[in-house]
Amino acid sequence: MARPRFDDIFMNLAVDLAKRSHCIKAQVGAVLARDTRIISIGYNGPPAGTHNCDEEFPGVGCPRDSKGSCSLALHAEQNAILYAAKNGAAIEGATIYVTLSPCIACARIIYSMKIARVVYLNSYAAYKGIGVDEGVEFLRRFGVTVERYAAADQPALAEEGNPGQPDVVRQGA
């Protein structure tokens, strides 16, 4: 049995964390790590102590903003970054693993916190039905490494220009 890569371990954890979300529309998980150590974790949902969408708004979910997004929740990346910052963890140079590529707002936060690498599982653009992963493009434009996750036993994806596919996928032992 081959030893799993840390990319696999951290992405599997992000997938499991997404299951903790109370969001009716989408469940997203994130792991903030440096080298082989976890700095922080997060999943999407409203700020702690406010409410749970699936309980307060069963069947329909919470109110939506003008873009159709949840008006009450924090994104998984935001929760992971905020928790790390709140506890004084060093974030600069870290990698964030997320089950959905960052939206443009999260991309701005990731860049501002000097996170060096983003590994994502699914495309935000495909999820939202838009043509471009704006967050991914933003991060790449400003020098952040962004990769679409591929498990060690999956072929690498590499269709440049396709928003549902990565430009770079890291494969390794």
Burial level of 25, CB count in 10 A (0-12/13-18/19+)?
middle
CA distance 68 to 61: 12
123 Cβ neighbours under 8 A, 6+ residues apart: 100, 101, 133, 148, 163, 164
Q: Which CATH superfamily is domain 6-52+59-148 in?
A: Cytidine Deaminase, domain 2 (3.40.140.10)
- Order of strands across the sheet with 117-122? 37-43, 29-34, 95-100, 117-122, 145-148
In 3D space, the residue among 43, 40, 53, 46 whose CA is nearest the CA of residue 19 turns out to be 43
Per-residue pLDDT tens digits for 11-69 = 999 999 999 998 888 899 999 999 999 999 999 988 888 878 777 777 777 777 777 77
CB 42 within 8 A of CB 10: no
pLDDT tens digit string along 76-100? 999 999 999 999 999 999 999 999 9
Centre a 10 Å sphere on the Cβ of residue 18 and count the other Cβ atoms it contains.
Answer: 21
Is the overall model pTM greater than 0.75, yes or no? yes
Catalytic residue selected from 55, 56, 77, 160: 77
Is 77 an annotated catalytic residue? yes
